[in-house]
């Protein structure tokens, strides 16, 4: 059933699951062809939005991995990025000389993922790659080189599959355009 704040479903649950399986194979095959310390990739998920994508991805990732999380924010309850990135929760392990895969739900302005990648690179890992479920290239403020991407979507405010409005709607099983006209007087 479609949520009343959904204007249009862009990606169905089935489309997302199919693409995540493909990504799992692509990324697994890539790391199997590399020299990876301890044969373990450290997946660094950016909370909270990464959770549904990362859970689905791990099920389809056929390579030894360790999961770690960071919590960063640039939205603060709005539909547009503030442009200022804050690290609210940092990694609990050393990534020096390790292979890191940064897992993101969405790349929009690029500011958050660029900041986090530079932040991680300062810790001297062997390598940092980026995977995102969705990409909004029209929203870019900085250049970002994604290594793997599930879908490219238009520059609209979207919710579902980890993407939220003010911490809500992450649990929708699809990715949809949010009807932002209804948000001002919406009663939760």
**Residue 122: per-residue pLDDT:** 97
| pLDDT, tens digit (0-9, with 9 covering 90-100), for 121-143 | 999 999 999 999 999 999 899 99
14-156 folds as Rossmann fold (3.40.50)
Going from N- to C-terminal start, the domains of the chain cover 14-156
Question: Helix/strand/coil (H, E, C) string of 54-71?
Answer: HHHHHHHCCCCEEEEEEE
Higher-confidence residue of 14 and 74: namely 14
The residues carrying an active-site annotation are 108
| pLDDT, tens digit (0-9, with 9 covering 90-100), for 51-101 | 999 999 999 999 999 999 999 876 555 556 556 788 899 999 999 999 999
Whole-prediction pTM: 0.92
Unique residue bearing structure tokens 């990739």: 41
- With a cut of 70, say whether residue 26 has pLDDT above it: yes
**Residue 85: per-residue pLDDT:** 81
Q: In degrees, to the nearest 5, what angle opens at C-alpha 173 toward C-alphas 75 and 149?
A: 65
What is the pLDDT averaged over residues 167-185? 94
């Amino acid at each position: 059933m479609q949520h009343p704040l959904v204007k249009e479903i862009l990606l169905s649950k089935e489309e997302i699951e199919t693409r995540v399986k493909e990504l799992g194979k692509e990324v697994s095959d890539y790391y199997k062809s590399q020299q990876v310390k301890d044969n373990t990739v450290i997946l660094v998920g950016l909370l909270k939005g990464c959770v549904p994508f990362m859970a689905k991805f791990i099920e389809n990732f056929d390579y030894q991995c360790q999961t770690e999380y960071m919590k960063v924010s640039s939205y603060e309850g709005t539909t547009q990025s503030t442009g200022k990135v804050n690290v609210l929760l940092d990694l609990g392990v050393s990534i020096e000389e390790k292979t890191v895969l940064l897992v993101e739900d969405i790349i929009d302005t690029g500011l958050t993922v660029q900041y986090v990648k530079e932040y991680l690179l300062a810790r001297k890992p062997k390598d940092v790659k980026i995977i995102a479920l969705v990409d909004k290239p029209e929203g870019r403020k900085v250049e970002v080189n994604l290594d793997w991407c599930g879908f490219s979507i238009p520059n609209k405010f979207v919710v579902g599959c980890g993407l939220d409005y003010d911490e809500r709607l992450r649990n929708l099983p699809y990715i949809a355009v949010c009807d932002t006209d209804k948000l001002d007087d919406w009663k939760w």
